[in-house]
Chains A and B, each alone.
Chain A
């Protein structure tokens, strides 16, 4: 009897697992938003680790398998994953997640990207021709992405459409409330300048009224040269810059060296939930980023 019950139970579990939506997200921020919307109605796999550089991700066999079985794929759509996603998709050959299908969410769709290169004849190495792809750290943009995700889930899984829509409404409410609080925390630092290792924060800066416009990298992806760092130190001193933002996969020692000669603080930031401690969701990540930056600027 017990055995039969067990078999039935596992059968049921298998069936209900079958019924769940298979979702793949390229990056952990999209993954976190998808969890908010999908709850227990989805099974999600996030390809990049939160501490991994989103420009470079090592492919493993399970990536191809899950892309092949995916009902929904959420990617940035702004060439951030250009180096590694296209070959994975080519191998997965899954028509359900092709661009234009309801099963494909390209987060950048409908979002006005910043820093689009004015040079139309795109130089061969210039990979971010569509504009800066690090846009999800702006909570208002995150709302738009979440809505896009909810629409996709609803289209692919109509019986649960109301559930997804409710979750989106909840998320929207949370973000709206939080925006007041975050705005108040950043209010005293309006117009202040902040340095960063890599140009990943224009959307965050724009949202909270600060300027993150001095970069340790002379060009995105190019390691800092001595003369460039000398310039950076000069700029930081003249603009009284008090904080340098680094991400987990950047060379923190370079930031520390610059910080020593400018009396600035190195602030550990992450674009992705889980990239720094105690940031298990999108909202807690932005909470953490805002409070860290406010602390450093005090």
Chain B
């Protein structure tokens, strides 16, 4: 088992901590589907690179994908108004479908065959290479440090927007920064793990944390534990029963969430009595 599952397990230990933390922000902001919209923006950029015959592995392609992610960040930070008639989730949904449809249009004009592109956009955690893991770990560490240094502002903007405005923070600018970093992290993780897995890592541990704790530090701790258990156990199940690895992890997360919710309900009842 080790020789096959070693790097997937390493990836599931070294990488998700940042996703769990960002997930707490995302759940608090109520913009659950932003990761999928961001990933789709980045893939639209890659499709454009395909159309322009740019090598998929090159830095130019990465730059184009990044530029599209930044456009997404700009859209989402510009539409996150203080009091808007249009819920942000609607803007996110629209961005997703338009980006997805635009990708179909671009590919229909591209050279034949899109296996390589699909493979590039959606990775398989089973097949991560050591290099992919270390590259992402370095990126996540850098983003993590940045988030840690400016944690007060980031947390205020996500958890207490009125307070942020009252403090005179340039909320839109911080929003943009948050979305841009978020897009970078999500896009790079999607390429090794796929959309389903990114979504679960962002949302499930965060929801478990919110279920069981009030303080952000405790929520984060619970989220990390859940992410660790879910990831490693999912990979082990995937090996035992020879299942697609990403889907096995996602379903393990689903089961963990049910367990945690049950535990939370029992605890709440006991607390009342």
Contact = CB atoms under 8 A, between A and B. Distances in A.
Interface stretch (A23-31, A215-223, A236-244): A215-223
B89 to A, nearest CB: 29
B129 A125 contact: no
Residue of A83, A91, A124, A127 with most chain B CB atoms under a 10 A cut-off: A124
Interface string A55-81: 110111110110010000000000000
B127 A88 contact: yes
B4 A68 contact: yes
A124 B127 contact: no
Contacts of A223: 104, 108
Report the interface size class on chain A. 20 to 34
Nearest to A225: B108
Contacts, number: 97
A84 B53 CA distance: 22
Contacts of B108: 218-219, 222-223, 225
Contacts of B114: 125, 127, 221-222
A40 interface: no
Residue of B3, B104, B126 with most chain A CB atoms under a 10 A cut-off: B126
Nearest to A54: B115
A128 interface: yes
A221 B49 CA distance: 18
Interface in B200-249: 238-239, 242-245
A59 B117 CA distance: 17
A177 interface: no
B81 interface: no
Contacts of B113: 55, 125-128, 219-221
B242 A61 contact: yes
Interface string A34-65: 00000000000000000000011011111011
Interface residues of B, number: 34
Nearest to B110: A125
A61 B5 CA distance: 8
Contact of A68 (B3, B54, B107): B3
A61 B7 CA distance: 12
Given A83-B118, A87-B124, A125 B111 contact: yes
A88 B3 CA distance: 13
A60 B238 CA distance: 8
A156 interface: no
A267 to B, nearest CB: 24
Contacts of A90: 127, 129
A82 interface: yes
Nearest to A61: B239
B55 interface: yes
B115 A87 contact: no
A96 B112 CA distance: 33
A123 interface: yes
B53 A222 contact: no
B116 A125 contact: yes
A285 to B, nearest CB: 24
Contacts of A220: 112-113
Contact of B112 (A59, A65, A88, A126): A126
B50 interface: yes
Nearest to A83: B115
A13 to B, nearest CB: 22
A124 B55 contact: yes
A25 B51 CA distance: 33
A222 B55 CA distance: 20
A123 B111 CA distance: 6
A83 B239 contact: no
Interface in A126-147: 126-128
Contact of A60 (B110, B115, B126): B126
B119 to A, nearest CB: 4
Contacts of B56: 124
B269 to A, nearest CB: 41
Contacts of A68: 3-4
Contacts of A59: 124, 126-127, 244
Contacts of A65: 4
A91 B110 CA distance: 30
Interface of B: 3-5, 7, 49-51, 53-56, 104, 107-108, 110-119, 124, 126-127, 129, 238-239, 242-245
5 contacts: A60-B243, A61-B4, A83-B119, A219-B111, A221-B112
Question: Would you list the 9 A-B pairs with minimal beta carbon distance, nearest first?
Answer: A83-B115, A123-B111, A127-B113, A87-B127, A126-B111, A125-B111, A62-B242, A83-B119, A64-B4
Given A61-B126, A61-B239, A125-B51, 5 more contacts: A64-B126, A126-B112, A127-B116, A221-B115, A222-B108
